[in-house]
Amino acid sequence: MIANVHAEAAKAVGTNVVCVFDPRESKTNEFVKKHECDVASSVEELVARDDIEGVVIAVPNDQHALLAIQALESGKHVLLEKPMAMSITQCDEILAARDASGKVLQMGFVCRYSPAAMKAKQLIEDGTIGDVLDVQATLVRQRGIPGIGGWFTTKQRSGGGCLIDIGVHLIDVAMHITQKKSPASALGKCTRAFTIDSYAYEEMWSTPVKDGTFDVEDRVRATISDSTGTTFQYNVAWATHLPEDTLQDGLLIEGTKGALVVDLWTDEMTLGYSEAGNPKDKKITFDVTEAWDDAFQGEHKAFADAVTNNALTATAGTGEDGRLVQMVIDAIYESDAQGRQVEL
């Protein structure tokens, strides 16, 4: 499903979708019919093609490191979907392959390219809210468990649940917007309120597996303290008993001079500030076509530029960014397992 999103975005910015590999023939046939590209019979065949410059890796988490390294060693630039890998060790192996290949590795941190995220970053860089003190980041779905019973909810293949699936976006975009990238400690709690039997849904991202595995969290609350003194609070859920829209998704960013209320997928945000000691607020608007499409197309425009210039753009997520997010994820899981705050 995410491969189709990438293909549409790539084509929208002028990139040629050349070839696809998927071990499931039915999915391959659907993709080829939709995007009019070739089919490879194996990963080896795909990365050996001279007419392919860049490879998008959109696969289950446990295959990220293997395929990223294989593509890089074959001389291809790589756009790697989040999370970077299953462990810091795998992240380091990918980075070593990148350095040895001389090719570009861009992380699939698409939220960076939402018009709201880019505007918020600009306002913070301009000093509009002063020094950032605290960020509250929320992404709570009422019914949003992906492919329940399948690889998404199987820890051995995914590495975790909602934290490593969607929380990874919030962790990266919050650090990217604020440029606070020195996490020092983590305190986290992971819980699971649902089971395969108790979870009902009307639609689902990815295909459910009957009688499958569900051994990961569906809710996470965590606090990260940066070495600069800034705190990050994360509230992430695949599913909740709360009524829909009880919690507002997005970022609340508080600074010494003001605050921002940021919904990543709209065309405006609210700036709070003081005037003569009195509280004030105003709306800040910016251009949006369709925020989701804008973000993915921005990501693919950056990847096309990276392939052309053999260098990442300023906004793009680097391999080091991917490793940093992995470190935060690991720390939150460790904190939950040990029942205490852990140092990074």
Reported as a single tens digit per residue, the pLDDT across 67-78 is: 999 999 999 999
**What DSSP character marks residue 318?**
P
Reported as type and span, the H/E element at residue 255 is: strand 250-255
Buried b (16+ CB within 10 A) or exposed e, 74-103: bebbbbbbbbbbbeeebbebbbebbeebeb
Which domain, by its residues, includes 24?
2-111+299-317
Mean pLDDT of 211-225: 98
Residues 76 and 157 in one domain: no
Q: What is the pLDDT of residue 229?
A: 97
Joined together, the tokens standing for residue 26 give 């039915």
Residues 68 and 144 in one domain: no
Q: 3-state class of 191 per DSSP?
A: strand
Residues 134 and 257 in one domain: yes
Residues 175 and 95 in one domain: no
d(CA 215, CA 218): 10
Residues 130 and 203 in one domain: yes
Residues 16 and 52 in one domain: yes
Residues 133 and 259 in one domain: yes
- What is the CATH number for 141? 3.30.360.10
d(CA 22, CA 41): 8
Q: What is the pLDDT of residue 175?
A: 98
d(CA 61, CA 126): 37
Q: What digits encode the pLDDT tens for the residues 300-321?
A: 999 999 999 999 999 999 999 9
Q: Calculate Rg over the CA atoms of the chain.
A: 20
Q: Please name the residues in contact with 278: beta carbons below 8 A apart, sequence gap of 6 or more.
A: none
CA dihedral 332, 337, 342, 344 (to 10 degrees): -50
pLDDT band (50, 70, 90) for residue 232: very high
Mean pLDDT of 40-53: 98
Residue 294 located in a structural domain: no
Burial of 221 (0-12, 13-18, 19+ CB in 10 A): middle
Joined together, the tokens standing for residue 12 give 């929208």
